[in-house]
């Protein structure tokens, strides 16, 4: 079964606004990774946050992690039309060096110009 | 980071045939992963491919349907056998970067089965 569940499933905003996407998971994790996918193409890695970290920034991206609530959020500030894509969270709960990722269902973000 | 290429980028195949997808990485890696993304869905792990040993398949995926080869530390192939329209998906290869937990993905192979 899916480890991560994103919400909302779809989000439509205007250029310049902020977009927040949430991800919940079920078991203890080693880290959580966020990815972007444009129009069914390959996945672009955005940010990795470890279980002992609470917040990370990368440019206009801010990721938080709350292990007590088993949830993470991805904030995109000052959105642009080029941010239109699907965003996925993926959790690494691997043990014994398996390195497996389990993906959530994703949030489809549309940024209107 | 790791640079991953996949061939073919897309294909349209007839029911009952097989397609082999190639994945090439620019550095040596221990594990390579194959994922499937059905239309409008998220990614599901098919199997983990280790060099020199049989691939480890996830629940719901079997070797007869998705045979995998891993001849060296930079290359792997996934075959989708005896295809049906339900196999129409994007197939993605993935590796973990060296000295990092970040997992990188190839551009994907978009398969359509008629």
Q: In the structure, what pLDDT confidence band is assigned to residue A5 with cuts at 50, 70 and 90? A: confident
Q: How many domains does chain A contain in total? A: 1
The mean pLDDT of chain A is: 91
pLDDT of residue A98: 64
CA B20/CA B77 separation, integer angstroms:
6
Hey, are the CB atoms on B103 and A101 less than 8 Å from each other?
A: yes
Per-range mean pLDDT, top range of A6-15, A34-43, A95-104, B18-27: B18-27
DSSP calls for A32-99: EEEEEESTT--EEEEEEEETT--EEEETTEEEEEETTTTEEEEEE-S--GGG-EEEEEEEE---TT--
CATH at A99: 2.60.40.10
Q: What residue ranges define each of the domains in chain B, with the CATH number in brackets?
A: 4-106 (2.60.40.10)
E strands in B1-114:
4-7, 10-13, 19-25, 31-37, 43-50, 56-57, 68-72, 75-80, 89-96, 103-105, 109-113
Give the structural domain span for A35: 5-112
CA A91/CA A88 separation, integer angstroms:
10
Interface test with A, best of B42, B90, B105, B108 (most A CBs within 10 A): B42
Hey, are the CB atoms on A103 and B110 less than 8 Å from each other?
A: no
Whether A40 contacts chain B with CB within 8 A: yes
Whether A59 contacts chain B with CB within 8 A: no
In 3D space, the residue among A106, A14, A112, A28 whose CA is nearest the CA of residue A69 turns out to be A28
The pLDDT tens digits for B67-93 are 999 999 999 999 999 999 999 999 999
């Amino acid at each position: 079964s899916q480890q991560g569940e994103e919400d909302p499933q779809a989000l439509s905003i205007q250029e310049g606004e902020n977009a927040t996407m949430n991800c919940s998971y079920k078991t203890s994790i080693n880290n959580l990774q966020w990815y972007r996918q444009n129009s069914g193409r390959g996945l672009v890695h955005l940010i990795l946050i470890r279980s002992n970290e609470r917040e990370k920034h990368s440019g206009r991206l801010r990721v938080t992690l709350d292990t007590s609530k088993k949830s993470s959020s991805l904030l995109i500030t000052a959105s642009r039309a080029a941010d239109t894509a699907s965003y996925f969270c993926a959790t690494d709960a691997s043990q014994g060096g398996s390195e497996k990722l389990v993906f959530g269902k994703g949030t489809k973000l549309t940024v209107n110009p | 980071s790791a640079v991953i290429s996949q061939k073919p980028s897309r294909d349209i195949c007839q029911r009952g045939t097989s397609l082999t997808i190639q994945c090439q990485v620019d550095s040596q890696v221990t594990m390579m992963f194959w994922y499937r993304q059905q239309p409008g869905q998220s990614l599901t792990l098919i199997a983990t491919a280790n060099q020199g040993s049989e691939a480890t398949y996830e629940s719901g995926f079997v070797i007869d349907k998705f045979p995998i080869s891993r001849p060296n530390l930079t290359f792997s192939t996934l075959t989708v056998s005896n295809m049906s329209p339900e196999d129409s998906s994007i197939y993605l290869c993935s590796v973990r970067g060296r000295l990092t937990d970040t997992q990188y993905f190839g551009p994907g192979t978009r398969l359509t089965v008629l």
